[in-house]
Chains A and B, each alone.
Chain A
């Protein structure tokens, strides 16, 4: 406060700054509201994705257990030996109020690893590379359930990373709003008050001085007239 030189120029500058800060607060509040609305949308989706994942896991592990029990772990793992496929995910970045939020999505279809592509590719009956003669429906359902888990996992990852990013941004925006409202704006207002007070004081002193000079001049005039 002491470093601010109480000049009219600084007063005008501070007033502009205060106005700008207030505009910043309004904008940040709007951004925060938009982020909060988005956050709640994503929360709903994240909960649904979690539920989907839990359900998929429950079904998949029960089915895998049944398949292992009926066919034996060894037979099932032998089936899995030929299954070396890749699943592709696509990551796009969306901009929400200047915040970059990743959108992760699974690409439809799978790319089998080169080693398996020819040996047990789409011609292998079920379209997923299994030999339908030597692979039971339980094993196939189990594999399909785990593919569903993978899709659900990607969805959970996508929504939860979005939630974290939006959450962090809300926190950051709130901190900025608070800093502006509670520190920057009060400080500028204090400086404005200080400069205004000093300028008013100066103005009063000037008036007082002028009045004293005027009085002195009048007194001098009066003395001259009397003499």
Chain B
């Protein structure tokens, strides 16, 4: 099997043609009911997934399952026709999903939820497949999850093994979660440490995500007046391109936020709307990340750019379809749904 990005990108470009054009989304947005939307969805590449989901669930739940399943299959398909270094880099890009899944499992185990309930909240779009995730969710407790990850030789076994003793002593899941987030950043940046263009792109994408995550976290912490500087610094995830710990703490403290913003913009972070509305700012940042990642599709045709760009566009499409479905379900005005949709 060819391992180079030339072949992978050719396949991905073929898959790109199956993304729904904006006009099609607009047509779906104009449909009056959820049933009409589901009917329309059956005539798209999501049709087979929807049919299958409808055999188990109904309505919006079937739509959600079909969209998630389709996205998983796409990631799986891309991984299947890649190997060697390109596959490693793609797996690093998809490691974000493993983070989300492992976090969900840890939370479930921490609160003693059943394996069934936890499994329902997982999307096996990363390196951990269904069987591995079911095995993790079936563990008795958080320590069991850490042990199972070690047995799977998954990179996340390291932060969990390091943090499990502290967790068992303090029962502080948050510290374990933060450890995992920090390790994710550290691992991806070091694993994609090569000097070739693809590794650089992966690092840039992850660094941009880390910057945005840190800014979003700082904005949330700004609203918490009773936290100390140390408490705020606890939530900083190192590895971003423009956000340092000092800048993060300054930004997270309402007293020094102004100085933090100035320093952030001086380092080239995109200007945010002058509003106090956290939702508006977060949406702007999400759109920024989404658009910047999607733009990579037009980047180097012989590097990972196209894969990252395509995955962003695909996920964006899934988000838009979920928005339309919920708009139909709750009768949310079309204009409002359109405002929320991210058209890349």
Q: Which chain A residues have a beta carbon within 8 Å of chain B's beta carbons?
A: 61-62, 65-66, 68-70, 72-75, 77-79, 81-82, 84, 115-116, 118-120, 123-127, 131-134, 136-138, 140-141
Leading 8 A-B pairs by shortest Cβ distance: A78-B104, A119-B173, A65-B326, A69-B322, A81-B107, A118-B171, A69-B323, A137-B278
Q: Is the CB of B227 within 8 A of A125?
A: yes
Docked complex Cα distance between A118 and B172 (Å): 6
CB distance from A60 to the nearest CB of B (A): 11
Q: Is the CB of B235 within 8 A of A132?
A: yes
CB distance from B188 to the nearest CB of A (A): 15
Of A119, A125, A133, A134, the most chain B CB neighbours within 10 A belong to: A133
Q: Is the CB of A81 within 8 A of B278?
A: no
7 pairs across A/B with beta carbons < 8 Å? A61-B330, A65-B326, A66-B323, A75-B104, A82-B110, A126-B224, A133-B237
A68-B322, A75-B121 known, 9 other contacts, Cβ within 8 Å: A66-B323, A66-B326, A70-B319, A78-B100, A118-B171, A126-B220, A133-B237, A134-B181, A137-B219
- Please tell me if B221 contacts chain A, counting CB pairs below 8 Å: yes
Query: What residue in chain B is nearest A66 (Cβ atoms)?
Result: B340
Q: Is the CB of B319 within 8 A of A77?
A: no
Q: Is the CB of B103 within 8 A of A134?
A: yes
Q: Is the CB of B172 within 8 A of A72?
A: no
Tell me whether A131 and B326 are in contact in the complex, defined as CB-CB below 8 angstroms, given that A78-B103, A115-B112, A126-B223 are known contacts: no
CB distance from B170 to the nearest CB of A (A): 6
Q: Is the CB of B323 within 8 A of A127?
A: no
Of B170, B216, B281, B329, the most chain A CB neighbours within 10 A belong to: B216
CB distance from B258 to the nearest CB of A (A): 21
Contact partner, B326, options A69, A120, A126, Cβ 8 Å: A69
Q: Is the CB of A81 within 8 A of B174?
A: no
- Please tell me if B131 contacts chain A, counting CB pairs below 8 Å: no
Residues of B within 8 A of A134 (CB): 100, 103, 177, 181
Contact partner, A137, options B104, B172, B178, B279, Cβ 8 Å: B279
Tell me whether A81 and B111 are in contact in the complex, defined as CB-CB below 8 angstroms, given that A65-B326, A74-B68, A137-B278 are known contacts: yes
Docked complex Cα distance between A78 and B123 (Å): 11
CB distance from B260 to the nearest CB of A (A): 16
Q: Is the CB of A82 within 8 A of B68?
A: no
Docked complex Cα distance between A87 and B332 (Å): 30
Docked complex Cα distance between A146 and B235 (Å): 26
- Please tell me if B148 contacts chain A, counting CB pairs below 8 Å: no
Contact partner, B121, options A74, A131, A137, A138, Cβ 8 Å: A74
Residues of B within 8 A of A131 (CB): 174, 177-178
Q: Is the CB of B340 within 8 A of A133?
A: no
- Please tell me if B108 contacts chain A, counting CB pairs below 8 Å: yes
Docked complex Cα distance between A65 and B340 (Å): 11
Residues of A within 8 A of B64 (CB): 68, 72-73
